[in-house]
Amino acid sequence: MSGDHFFGFDVATTVYKRVNGHGIALGLLTPKNMQPGKHPLMIRYHGGFLVTGATLFPGFFARWILQYALKYSAIIVSPDYRLLPESNGLDIMDDLSDLWKWVHRDLNSFVSEVREGIEVDLERILLVGESAGGYLTVQLGLSQESSTIKAIISTSPSLDLRTPHYSTNPPPTLFGFPTLPPMDNYLALMKAGEIVTSADPPTRMPLAISIVQQGKLLDLLGTESRLYPMDQLERINKFPPLFITHGENDSAVPMQGSVNFVEKLKKVLPESQIVLYVHPGVDHGFDRTAEASDQWLQEGLNMITEAWLG
């Protein structure tokens, strides 16, 4: 973890859940200059193809997200979750649900231990995630009926998973990676019951790339309908305001998936508040060095701020 990356925050970690004795961690970021009182919450999920990544890995934690939180004196909770292929999609969904319960049951007591006089406003929750984390924030928004999820920011998310990109016609290259060997040996050597919940890239990145290139991601995720956001849209009657950003030339997570999701959401819930910004000519992860003041972010952030903070 890079202290410089989170220089405006005090950083703490804890375990929000245990599975077979394995603790699943989260990072807590509280702005150093925040005043005593009640503050809004940002729950941020990291990316990494659901295979790699970690709560406070700085390479995936976009600078503009941190700046946005500091601007509004927001507390950030960034959880780990069980990773593929040792676990499956339903395991990850259970972790999302248990994190949500922990936030409402235990977060304020943990915050009071690390920052005296600070309270989390659980009526003002913003979900944020990039790539696979963007998928998870939308999944959490689709599964939670609570009105305390005020808005969602989803960057380069995997939302239309039944497209050929993820199975029958996987990409030969992903942001410059050549075709990698199949991960069969890795799967054969996995121990029964093994759990992995964090990895700082490049650890496990070749495994993640190989899984996608071999068209195996959905096999490992699972076939249950509730794992697929496009299916979930058919069963909802409300959804929080949503800001999606996506690179036009995304080689890892095709931009068309975000377009398809937004089109279907508008059909299901015509009154939905949605901003979809497609950034021309860029690949996956284009926003990691962006600034919160960048012009292309303003329409979406203005909508999110109004919905989140009023």
Residues with a catalytic annotation lie at 131
25 in Cβ contact with 109 (< 8 Å): no
Note the helical H segments in the chain.
Answer: 63-71, 89-114, 132-143, 184-189, 205-213, 217-221, 229-232, 256-268, 298-309
Return the CA Rg of the chain. 18
Evaluate the CA torsion angle 277, 53, 308, 34 in order and state its sign.
negative
At residue 150, φ and ψ (nearest 5 deg) are -85, -30
- Least Cα distance to 157 among 303, 287, 298, 27 occurs for 287
30 in Cβ contact with 118 (< 8 Å): yes
Edge-to-edge strands, sheet with 274-279? 9-19, 22-31, 75-79, 37-45, 118-130, 149-155, 242-247, 274-279
165 in Cβ contact with 139 (< 8 Å): no
At residue 205, φ and ψ (nearest 5 deg) are -65, -45
SS3 29: strand
- Least Cα distance to 2 among 66, 50, 49 occurs for 66
SS3 4: helix
